[in-house]
Amino acid sequence: MPFISDGRSLIREAFSGRYALPAFNVSNLEMGRACIEAAEEERAPIILQTYPGDLEQATPRVFAGMVRALADEASVPVMLHLDHGDGLDRAVACLRAGYSSVMFDGDELPLEENIAASKTIAAVAHAAGASMETAAGGFGGGEGASGVHLTDPAAAATLMRETEADMVACSVGSRHGQPSTLDLGRLEAIAQAVRGPLVLHGGSGIPADDLARATELGVVKVNIGAALFRALVGAWREAAPGAAVHYEVLPVAREALKRVARAKIRLLRTHVRA
């Protein structure tokens, strides 16, 4: 199936259908391949995404080329997103490489500065035929994050309206890499104020019931990174000591990653809409 070059199409479909797209953080071929194979088995569209830290290991062109090649051989829609983008230069580099979507994480800035930077990046992304995610909250423990900052509904609505972003990340209790419970009352207030697509980070530790309610409230994208990284490292540690060559380790790691990805797809109910 062709690579989804403009993320806005999948975001609109998820918002109207009240389901969420799993956004899997991947840093190599095995992770990308495993997530796509899981999506194919569940017949679900997915997002693959990269951190700025991943882009210190390989350029946006390398990741975009890898994901495009995998998507071209896949039977489900696949898009590529920049997670926790740290400015215009990073966003432009990814868009030029062919990313479907970019995020600008300006939550630590004063609101007016966040609005100004997000508005510029949203305009650039739209001109490039891609989607843009802005941030109205902090999730702690992740790349570039200093702590948790719960989202104010009015601020989220202002950010979405003034920047013309396609989705807004909101902090309502989830934390990067940790078990967490959502403040569903706060999320409902944000949904009523924003009336547009929402994003949750820290999706590895959010309970199933909370995720189900979140999708009903307009969450269209849930980031999943820590669960994949833990599965990958665990599989390597288990398989590597007895392996004579690396080819014996790769399938074990891929199966561990697929189990995590399939479980998350089912929790988000993405598979029933594909």
- Candidate list 6, 54, 72, 83, residue with the active-site label: 83
DSSP string for residues in the chain: ------THHHHHHHHHHT--EEEEE--SHHHHHHHHHHHHHHT--EEEEE-TTGGGTS-HHHHHHHHHHHHHT-SS-EEEEE-S--SHHHHHHHHHHT-SEEEE--TTS-HHHHHHHHHHHHHHHHHTT-EEEEESSEESSSTT--SEEPPPHHHHHHHHHHHT-SEEE--SS-BTTB-----HHHHHHHHHHH-S-EEES-GGG--HHHHHHHHHTTEEEEEE-HHHHHHHHHHHHHHGGG-SSGGGTHHHHHHHHHHHHHHHHHHHT-GGG-
**Residue 146's Cα: distance from chain center in Å?**
19
Q: Apex CA 67: angle with CA 70 and CA 117, to 5°? A: 160
Q: Residue holding tokens 């790691």?
A: 253
Are 173 and 201 contacting, i.e. CB atoms less than 8 angstroms apart?
no
Joined together, the tokens standing for residue 132 give 């843009």
Residue 6 a catalytic site member: no
Which of the residues are catalytic? 83
